[in-house]
Amino acid sequence: MTSVSHSSPKALSHIRVLDLTRVLAGPWATQNFCDMGAEVIKVERPGAGDDTRGWGPPFVRDGAGRETSDASYFISANRGKKSITIDITVAEGQALVRELARRSDVFVENHKVGAMAKYGLSYEDLRAVNPRLIYCSITGFGQSGPYADQPGYDFIFQGMCGLMSLTGFPETPDGENGPVKVGIAIGDIFGGMYAAVAILAALERRNVSGTGQYIDLALLDSMVSLMSYQAQNYFLSGRVPKALGNSQPNLVPYQVFRCKEGKIILAIGNDGQFASFCKIAGRPELASDPRYSRVGERRRNRDSLVIEIKRVMLERTTREWLDLLNPANVPCGPIYDMKQVFEDPQVAHRGLYGVLPHSAGGLAPNIGNPIHFSETPIRYAHAAPLLGEHTRPILSDLLDLAPEAIEALRRKGVVG
């Protein structure tokens, strides 16, 4: 992770995003814009802010090593943003948001369906003051349909999209194993990424048409689309895919194997890789066996082939297998815990870990953005902001409010 260089060009330095999101999906979308150089103004509730500020421990520590009020969850999705506190439930707060939207390119929110209209901040309301505005609403089930008004959380979408029926190990007759969720809020992350892609497309369209548009982004939709080839397998075969543990439905061997010491992932995707593996494993006859020589045959004879490979893998340690298989271009890898991930030399080389200055006086660890531009490299200015850290500068510099006007709003509780 590289610190900011003010002389470096940034891909989206000409874009301003007004961010009325909280928790994860929306903040993840807008953090991507921030990483790419956009000015992202995060509007938060006075006195409380984004819910995830308090989702700790752990919390960020200040320069003296004391815990702050900002949790790791919050700083994972809000780096580089500016925080302004506005009470959008009152008319004066709504007027401030409309004025900020008039001067922005993108507006992102993830409130319940109809909430923004109640506050006079719907797409129609803001389009009236800024026809070029790209307005993105991120909700659980979308703006229409029988579930539109229902609250939704990542865990629910993992179940509803079919993902949990594919993860974990096959359920046994006694009810053991069964559905398992992914260990991160993957629905929020992918929903945020789809939102970012959609907003970028809408911005490009605006360059042609001159007008903005509305984006309806549902987390359930995002998760269903994520089912990709597993859904396609079902469409073509009529067979409902089931959980295979660490196996893959179309490729064999493509799973975790126990070694003499430790475990290893084998991810063999073609016949050439399989032949190379068999040669190194001392079992070249497996590659010429008509039951296993082709991808489709290996899949049909999965059970017998896996038994053979299990025996072979127990002959060496994980490290020994990695040292033999990697030079031969046989896809394989270790299974890391989070500590080991960031100790890996490839991860370190790619700059995926770093620390950023935090306004409380300490340093905040962050995971880097995976995008590498040749002409507009991503640079990071600072960690996630303190609650309301930029309220006065934004009101003063962007909205041209006088100090006495800002103070009057503060006394009324309109801003923090």
Per-residue pLDDT of the chain (416 residues; tens, 9 = 90+): 644 445 668 999 999 999 999 999 999 999 999 999 999 999 999 999 999 999 999 999 988 889 888 999 999 999 999 999 999 999 999 999 999 999 999 999 999 999 999 999 999 999 999 999 999 999 999 999 999 999 889 999 999 999 999 998 888 777 778 888 999 999 999 999 999 999 999 999 999 999 999 999 999 999 999 999 999 999 999 999 988 888 888 899 999 999 999 999 999 999 999 999 999 999 999 999 999 999 999 999 999 999 999 999 999 999 999 999 999 999 999 999 999 999 999 999 999 999 999 999 888 999 999 999 999 999 888 999 999 999 999 999 999 999 999 999 999 999 98
Q: CB count, 10 Å around CB of 46?
A: 18
Long-range (24+ apart) CB contacts under 8 A made by 252-255 are 252/298, 252/299, 252/302, 252/305, 252/306, 253/277, 253/298, 253/305, 253/306, 253/309, 255/306
Which CATH class name applies to 16-225+344-412? alpha beta
Tens digits of residue pLDDT in 367-384: 999 999 999 999 888 999
**Predicted local distance difference test score (pLDDT) of residue 92:** 97
pLDDT at 5: 45
Give the start-to-end residue ranges of the domains of the chain.
16-225+344-412, 254-337
Q: How confident is the model over 35-67, as pLDDT tens digits? A: 999 999 999 999 999 999 999 999 999 888 898
Predicted TM-score of the model (pTM): 0.90
Question: Catalytic residue positions?
Answer: 188
pLDDT of residue 248: 84
Which alpha helices (H) appear in 289-333, and where do they start and end? 295-300, 302-313, 318-325
pLDDT (0 to 100) of residue 1: 60
Each residue of 224-265: pLDDT tens digit? 999 999 999 999 999 999 888 888 888 999 999 999 999 999
CA distances from 312 to 266, 277, 291, 298, 334 (A): 13, 11, 18, 17, 17
Asked whether the CA dihedral 189, 125, 34, 59 is positive or negative, the reply is negative
- What's the pLDDT score for residue 7? 60
Predicted pLDDT of residue 173: 79
Q: Which fold has domain 254-337?
A: formyl-coa transferase, domain 3 (3.30.1540)
Distance CA 274, CA 293 (A): 8
Distance CA 2, CA 378 (A): 8
Query: Alpha-carbon distance 252 to 50, whole Å?
Result: 45
Task: Give the pLDDT of residue 99.
Answer: 98
